[in-house]
Amino acid sequence: MPSFIGSIDQGTTSSRFLIFDSKGALVSYHQVEFAQYYPNPGWIEHDPNDILESVYKCIEEGLKKFAEKGYSVTDIKAIGITNQRETIIVWDKFTGKHLYNAIVWCDARTHYLVHELNNKFGANALKEICGLPISTYFSAVKFKWLLENVPAVKEAHEKETLLFGNVDSWLIYNLTGGLNGGLHITDVTNASRTMLMDIRKLEWSEELLKFFEIKKCALPKICSSSEIYGDIKITSLAGIPIAGDLGDQHSALVGQKCFRRGEAKNTYGTGCFMLFNTGTEPVISKSGLLTTVGYKFGKEDTVYALEGSIAVAGSAIKWVRDNLGIINETYEINDLAASVEDTGGVYFVTAFSGLFAPYWRDDARGCIIGITQYTNKSHIARATLEAACFQTRAILDAMNNDSGHPLTSLKVDGGMTNSDICMQIQADILGIDVDRPAMRETTALGAAIAAGFAVGIWKSLSDLDEVNNKDRTTFSPQMSKEESEQKYKEWQKAVERSLDWA
């Protein structure tokens, strides 16, 4: 009998349910978008119930398509979950109801709090423990904001009835029964994004909890990324075990099969995230990168990674569509960008809520610079694509500096990689090959691989050699190194102009 693995991919703007076979082929798929809330400038929230309902709908619709192909839900051996990271949800363990909207990873409301915490005694020691700088990005800072600004959260925390988690914890809790025995767990990859976990011990750090004034009883149990956690109790998946859990970028690292030290992938989604496998020892960056857990399969050794994060990538294309109105559909940006040979000297720094790695400047704001009377919407479209590519170059330079092993090829995935022109621009700006798989749902595939390992569908990494390995496309640099370097220098000047605005 054929074996299949389901994957719940809960992202920033939509949720998806995908089903893969044992060769990594995509068999069924359903996606549902959900509402984004912007209560104040720089604030981004989700309704946790919207997240749940979108996931439930995806599951049911995805299973209908699966059944139409002649398969049964009993053919699915396990479920993996991957999720938008750093986005936090808090709920009450006696009611199961959330106490505030989810605060999304790219929310910048904690700008003032970051400065307070950075000036607090002991702040300098944090990065050595958790691998992360104090930033609006990470979960602990958002959690502290809730404790200081939402009375219901503060009260539940004091009474020790508060449950905290990233989106994976919220999903697993509800899928495994909620108030009726729901599991309050997370995996090492998600925990490594909270600023609360000791990255070497893989445990909640008493020192970090004390620094942020957070009670350990509110936090989920930390598990590996691949093990049988428990059975689903609701939806048509009831009775099937959840056996994989990874933050989305770590899941893409697994889905791209970056299992060897020195391999890297870049995911172009709402944001843009490059992860570089550093092996079984964490490398604390000296170049503005993040040290993070890559993945951990069961009792196998933990694999670590360096990460560079870009806050705005695909969301800049949606901004061009929704706020500027120069395109009606996101894919139209490719034809516009291809209609001109270059940007005509225009650079777009998409620092809508500051700049992440390697700059870490929450005072930066977006700017389009170099505009002349010659500039038209095609130049702006091309500059929008180039923005993610230039920021990726900045991260790659930092990774090469930290690792001492210059990358020679970059594996890519995510929505923006559907654009051939964007990927060619990326290869030109990086000066190395860009390697794109035919099946680009690698984030969801990574969670499926983790779950498949836990239930024995695959026994070793070599079993994955043929998974998603056909019809890959390689984009090689076509621009001279001199021209590429000159354009990058001009980009760096544009970044300088974006600083000190907030």
| Residue-level pLDDT at 384 | 95
CATH code for the domain of 211 = 3.30.420.40
Domain presence at residue 457: no
Neighbours of 1 (CB within 10 A): 7
Structure tokens at 182: 């729901």
- Cβ atoms 448, 13 nearer than 8 A: no
Given the DSSP bridges, would you call strands 14-21 and 4-10 parallel, antiparallel or unpaired? Answer: antiparallel
Domain presence at residue 466: no
Domain presence at residue 32: yes
User: How many whole angstroms separate alpha carbon 231 and alpha carbon 241?
Assistant: 4
| Residue-level pLDDT at 501 | 87
Is residue 52 domain-shared with residue 136, that is, in the same domain? yes
Is residue 155 domain-shared with residue 296, that is, in the same domain? no
Angle, alpha carbons 197-248-97 (nearest 5°) = 70
Is residue 87 domain-shared with residue 62, that is, in the same domain? yes
User: How many whole angstroms separate alpha carbon 326 and alpha carbon 486?
Assistant: 28
Domain presence at residue 459: no
Q: What is the DSSP string of 134-192?
A: --TTSHHHHHHHHHHH-HHHHHHHHHT-EEEEEHHHHHHHHHTTTTTT---EEEHHHHT
- Cβ atoms 99, 64 nearer than 8 A: no
Is residue 154 domain-shared with residue 18, that is, in the same domain? yes
Last residue of a domain, one of 191, 215, 249: 249
Is residue 120 domain-shared with residue 240, that is, in the same domain? yes
Q: What is the largest CA-CA distance in the chain?
A: 65
Q: Is the peptide bond before 39 cis (omega within 30 degrees of 0)?
A: no
64 membership: H or E segment, kind and range: helix 48-68
- The total number of structural domains that make up the chain: 2
Given the DSSP bridges, would you call strands 45-46 and 102-103 parallel, antiparallel or unpaired? Answer: antiparallel
Is residue 238 domain-shared with residue 220, that is, in the same domain? yes
Is residue 202 domain-shared with residue 265, that is, in the same domain? no
φ, ψ (nearest 5 deg) of residue 47: -85, 120
Residue 26 bridge partners (DSSP): 20
User: How many whole angstroms separate alpha carbon 416 and alpha carbon 386?
Assistant: 11
Q: b/e string for 476-497 if b means 16 or more Cβ within 10 A? A: ebeeeeeebeebbeebeebbee
Is residue 208 domain-shared with residue 346, that is, in the same domain? no
User: How many whole angstroms separate alpha carbon 36 and alpha carbon 137?
Assistant: 18
Nearest to 440 by CA among 416, 461, 421: 416
User: How many whole angstroms separate alpha carbon 28 and alpha carbon 43?
Assistant: 35
Domain presence at residue 336: yes
- Cβ atoms 325, 353 nearer than 8 A: no
Is residue 226 domain-shared with residue 271, that is, in the same domain? no
φ, ψ (nearest 5 deg) of residue 348: -120, 110
Is residue 223 domain-shared with residue 266, that is, in the same domain? no
User: How many whole angstroms separate alpha carbon 168 and alpha carbon 159?
Assistant: 24
User: How many whole angstroms separate alpha carbon 326 and alpha carbon 341?
Assistant: 19
Is residue 239 domain-shared with residue 359, that is, in the same domain? no
What global pTM score does this model have? 0.87
Neighbours of 438 (CB within 10 A): 10
The range of the structural domain enclosing residue 293 comes to: 257-436+472-502
334 membership: H or E segment, kind and range: helix 332-338
| Residue-level pLDDT at 1 | 65
User: pLDDT tens digits, the chain, 502 residues: what are they?
Assistant: 678 999 999 999 899 999 999 888 899 999 999 999 999 988 999 999 999 999 999 999 999 999 999 999 999 999 999 999 999 999 999 999 999 999 999 898 998 899 899 898 888 889 899 989 898 889 999 999 999 999 999 999 999 999 999 999 999 999 999 999 999 999 999 999 999 999 999 999 999 999 999 999 999 999 999 999 999 999 999 999 999 999 999 999 999 999 988 888 998 988 888 999 989 989 888 888 889 999 999 999 999 999 988 888 888 999 999 999 999 998 899 999 999 999 999 999 999 988 888 888 888 999 999 999 999 999 999 999 999 999 999 999 998 888 777 888 899 988 889 899 999 999 999 999 999 988 878 899 999 999 999 999 998 888 887 777 777 899 999 999 999 999 999 999 999 999 998 7
Domain presence at residue 463: no
Last residue of a domain, one of 231, 249, 267: 249
CA distances in angstroms from 485 to 175, 193, 313, 390, 489, listed in the order given: 50, 33, 22, 11, 6
Last residue of a domain, one of 190, 224, 249: 249
Domain presence at residue 307: yes
Is residue 199 domain-shared with residue 314, that is, in the same domain? no
Given the DSSP bridges, would you call strands 409-413 and 433-436 parallel, antiparallel or unpaired? Answer: parallel
| Residue-level pLDDT at 243 | 97
Domain presence at residue 198: yes
